């Protein structure tokens, strides 16, 4: 609805898909922030709840390694999690992420690198 209502404000400075992704990202961040404020839970509590929901989800048909990857992703700080998901799952380029998140490509690359290292450590600690 946000995109539909705001289409007249689309200037064409970026691709339409980048603009739509930015709207979705902002709405998600706002939703999560509001949910945290309403529930008065810490970020760790919210992450635990998300993990419990994932484990209990009857529609999640991933194998054990996919579940472990999602657990590892939930341990990341919010910014690293966002960058990792955009790069790893959505295959968004750093230039597109730069336009969406308003952060330099260098900072995004560093965030992704740190996220990957933390995920690798998560898996190595599991062994």
* pTM score of the predicted model: 0.60
Q: Tens of pLDDT along 27-75?
A: 777 776 666 556 555 555 655 666 666 555 655 555 677 778 888 888 9
CATH number at residue 110: 1.10.10.10
Tell me the CA distances in angstroms from 83 to 3, 43, 63, 78, one per residue in order: 22, 18, 24, 9
The whole-angstrom separation of Cα 12 and Cα 9 is 9
Domain count along the chain: 1
pLDDT value at residue 114: 97
Residues in the chain: 127
**Least confident residue range of 8-12, 56-60, 88-92:** 56-60
The domain of 75 spans 2-126
């Amino acid at each position: 609805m946000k995109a539909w209502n705001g289409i007249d404000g689309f200037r064409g400075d970026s691709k339409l898909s980048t603009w739509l992704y930015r709207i979705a990202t902002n709405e998600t961040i706002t939703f999560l922030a509001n949910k945290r404020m309403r529930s008065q839970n810490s970020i760790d509590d919210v992450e635990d709840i998300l993990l419990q929901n994932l484990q209990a989800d009857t529609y999640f048909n991933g194998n054990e390694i996919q579940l472990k990857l999602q657990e590892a992703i939930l341990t990341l700080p919010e910014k690293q999690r966002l960058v990792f998901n955009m790069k790893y799952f959505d295959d968004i380029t750093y230039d597109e992420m730069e336009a969406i998140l308003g952060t330099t490509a260098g900072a995004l690359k560093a965030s992704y690198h740190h996220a990957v290292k933390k995920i690798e450590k998560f898996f190595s600690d599991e062994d």
